[in-house]
Chain A
Amino acid sequence: MMTQNDIQTLIASLLKEKPGIQFDISGSSVEDQTVKIKESGTLDQSASQRTNVTLRVWNSAGRVGVVQLTSLASKDLLAAVDLALEAAHVGPSEDLPLLPSLSQAGELPVKNNAQVVVGKHTAESASIEQLAEALSAGVELLKTSHPSIQGVPYNALSQRRVDRFYANTAGLVRSQQGGSVSTYLYAKGQVDGYKPRAAGHWDEQNSLAELSLTEVAKVTSKILVSHLQPGKIPSGKYPVVFSGKAFLDLLDAFSNLFSAQNILDKQSLHSKDSLGQLIASELLNVTDDPLHKENISPALFDGEGTAVRSTVLVEHGRLKGLWHHSVSAKAFATQSTGHARVGAKMVVGPWFYNVAPGAGLGAIAENCIWVEEVQALHAGVNSLQGSFSLPFLGFRVENGQRMSLDGVTVAGDILATLKSIVALGEKQERASGGVCPAVAVASLSITCEL
């Protein structure tokens, strides 16, 4: 791991060669190991160690050049400084970021120092043999859990250690160590007279000891088996309930709704005037909660070194907040929320959605289309138009009886969908990007392949 001393030494050595320049440097060193089981039963193993560095250099006119590289070697960084200065000359001349100071970046949400260990990964890292053994057991359990399950074509168990750092010539130095172990199992099955179906499940924990492959296998099997004998329904408008995971995926596909940068770029369905306006049903409350207990490996600071913090996005249906970095915050006369992603262009993005639970789904859960998982978001979402048309895994629920559906899509407009939320479940579901209850929407278009 890069210690604060290492980082300060790095800064000093660059300043020695390039006295007087202003820059910041951020990045990560990643070590990961992944195992997969092929259908033939052979083991697919991989490992990597890599470093990703982003260097921002300010020239004398206050313009910034950004260079990304994969090395922390002094000679490479010196070359990058020259390249960044060249880029700064041609790059943006307005809305320029300033070199963050400690007072602007805020204290990290951990006492005493800026170098913390998040999670227990390092202390409890597993060997590749242990990873392989655990995955093999999970895959085998899944394969034998039901006679109709034909295989687990997509599966993986990964262990990852990430050291993140940020430092600048104004004296702000931050580092953080984290890591996690994650798995997914995606199985395929078929019943005579029906098409093959596939379904999967995912989990992530701090260590292999805390991750239950048995549970992931059981859940995957249960989901898949419930979809092996699907039926058809007429295309039409139906009340729809999204599972927590499905709703989070949909919301995240339209994340420009909460991006101050997107509003400034006119690449949003919202404008500055939308703040405070009713954009959703009054039942909806959404917070970006980076340090939520279910966020397994949270970032403590963003790409500008700014401490992350909880941000209320939607309160009783009204747009209350946006994600900000330092430049968008200035344009909105507010403070950065610690959501900066620094790259070619500084943008913002979510850390961990927390959609508050409601009073329960009530009667709608007994007669609806239940969308368990939305698929192909990259193809079926037009985030600038606000429209979506997505295949999904789900059920027709009629008088409480579930029938799996095959070849179905759900379509609508995101702003209309948010406004037509009629109920939220009482219990939140954990997904990779946040926590969210089931969300019921009055009516959406459903197409079913005949």
Chain B
Amino acid sequence: MRPLLERDFKASFSTTQAPIEGPFGESWRPLLSLILGHARRSGADFAEVFLERRNTLRVTTENGKVTAVAPAFSLGAGVRCFKGTQDVYVSTNDLSREGLRWAVDQALAMLGLSTRMKHSIGRDVQLEPLRDFASFKGKNSWLAACAGVTEMSGRLLEQSAALKKKVAHLQSDQVSAFRDWQEVLVAASDGVFARDIRLHQLSRLGVNCADGADRASAHEQRASTGQPDFLKTVDMSPVVSELADSVGVMLRADYVSAGQYPLVMANRFGGVIFHEACGHLLETTQIERKTTPFADSLGQPIAHESLSAWDEGVTEGAFGSTDMDDEGMPAQSTLLIENGILRNFIADRAGSMRFGHPRTGSGRRQNFTFAAASRMRNTFIAPGKFTPEELISSCESGLYCKKMGGGSVGATGEFNFAVAEAYLIEKGKLGKPVKGATLIGTAVDIMKKISACANDIELAPGFCGSVSGTIYTTVGQPHLKVDNITVGGRA
């Protein structure tokens, strides 16, 4: 192919359409090749276009009535350009060729690159053959196979009725489900050209109970990725029972006394502590901000030798799984910590470019309005050799955190987690329930205090909000023991 002049680009651009209708794919190759070539000829070292189409449906019932049915659809694009290690990001929901041209020209201008170089010479970007994860894995029919609004509503009303039957002192219930179908296309000046369809679905039960001055609330959810019939088939009856038991106990719980406690943390959502206290600090985004104490710790011990941990995007059906990341890279499994030694960081393209850590297929974003960033997927602590009972019996007195709430970690590595359901450990056995506990500490300290892991790993779906928005993730761990932690409560 002969080199292209900018005037050739203009001529080609004026006759190339943006094929907005229909699925993303080969039909976008001409326009995206032109746009990426235009960015390169204008002086960008690297350019990427991310196209996104979304179709969501959320249904909510409250107290046995449908109170919201919310379909939504959106379309948008993001253009990212690099000059050296500096990058800019421009997003738009105008996917016409003019809209995309505006976005790329804005990006180039923000990098200080002229878009009017009449004699600039270069080729259009030669995109690779389309890596179509959607077609390859039979995802094109997913949307049509999902539960419709009538079926979703019907199932939610059944679940609401089950809650009413099982939960004592029920003041209100909220039962909801959503489906989030997303089609993405990534094209980049290094030739990446990849398409995927993602499908995330979630079913959630929430209850609020009151009896006189005693109050308790609880919620529980089940979720899946890439399983179109999930909302048609998921059995929420065990969750109804679990919630009824949990909220019944917590309604009468006293507030926990503040202080230092040995701690046993349950599996499933207990993994949020590792996600917040350590996982975020292993994202290359944190190296860039100089907010991780582990930036120079590769190959060094950062945790107790009993602890190994993974971040991966490949577990079938898990909420954080993805066949390709939002930069077009296939998913991987990444060993983060092996017997306490830091082995890998979680890296996106920019992190790899700036710090040399290999990309891990972890470039993720909420939607087209965010540039991709290094983010966790399914993150979990590997199982150990003990039973949960052995961990509990090893504590003369302490706290058992059966169910965790949310948490966060600050710029100095200080973290905090709310505990949704907890019990005192007395003489190696579970004692009375307590509420209002908050776990506080610093990442560097806590990782060295996780002294034993049980053999019962389980994963739980969740959401993670950070630099590139809110994304679907999984946390997980076996039961584990923390030798000592500060518990915020009532004095």
Contact = CB atoms under 8 A, between A and B. Distances in A.
Q: Do A and B bind each other?
A: yes
Interface of A: 38-40, 42-51, 65-71, 80, 83-84, 86-88, 90-94, 128, 150-151, 153-154, 186, 188, 195-198, 235-237, 265-267, 343-345, 375-376, 378-380, 382, 384-387, 389-391, 407, 409, 411, 445-447, 449-450
B354 A40 contact: yes
Interface of B: 58-60, 62-63, 65-76, 85-94, 102, 106-107, 109-111, 149-150, 153, 171-172, 174, 208, 215-217, 255, 258-260, 288-291, 354, 369, 371, 405-408, 410-414, 416-418, 435-438, 440-442, 486-491
Given A198-B410, A345-B60, A409-B488, A384 B215 contact: yes
A70 B99 CA distance: 14
A271 to B, nearest CB: 10
Given A154-B289, A387-B435, 14 more contacts: A46-B89, A47-B88, A47-B90, A47-B110, A67-B73, A87-B70, A196-B413, A235-B491, A237-B491, A385-B217, A389-B437, A389-B489, A411-B255, A445-B258
A198 B440 contact: no
A50 B76 contact: yes
Contacts of B153: 90
24 contacts: A40-B354, A44-B87, A45-B89, A46-B371, A47-B90, A71-B75, A84-B71, A92-B66, A154-B289, A198-B411, A265-B63, A344-B58, A378-B408, A379-B417, A379-B418, A384-B215, A385-B216, A390-B438, A407-B486, A445-B490, A445-B491, A446-B491, A447-B258, A447-B487
A411 B416 contact: no
A195 to B, nearest CB: 7
Nearest to B109: A128
A48 to B, nearest CB: 4
A143 B94 CA distance: 40
Contact of A447 (B109, B417, B442, B486): B486
Contact of B92 (A49, A83, A387): A49
Contact of B436 (A66, A375, A411): A411
Contact of B217 (A48, A90, A188, A384): A384
Nearest to B413: A196
B55 to A, nearest CB: 10
Contacts of A65: 69
A88 B172 CA distance: 24
Contacts of A449: 440-441, 486
B491 A45 contact: no
A113 B178 CA distance: 41
Contact of A67 (B71, B290, B354): B71
A407 B445 CA distance: 13
A69 B74 contact: yes
Nearest to A51: B93
Given A48-B92, A266-B63, A128 B110 contact: yes
Contact of B65 (A66, A92, A128): A92
Nearest to A153: B289
B96 to A, nearest CB: 10
A384 B411 contact: no
Contact of B88 (A45, A150, A345, A378): A45
Given A39-B290, A391-B438, A450 B67 contact: no
A447 B255 CA distance: 13
Which 10 pairs from chain A and chain B are nearest by CB?
Answer: A344-B70, A409-B488, A447-B258, A345-B68, A266-B172, A68-B72, A379-B406, A449-B486, A153-B289, A384-B217
A411 B488 CA distance: 8
Contacts of B442: 195
A357 to B, nearest CB: 30
Nearest to B465: A378
Contacts of A345: 60, 67-68, 70
Contact of B438 (A44, A83, A380): A380
Nearest to A86: B149
Nearest to B170: A266
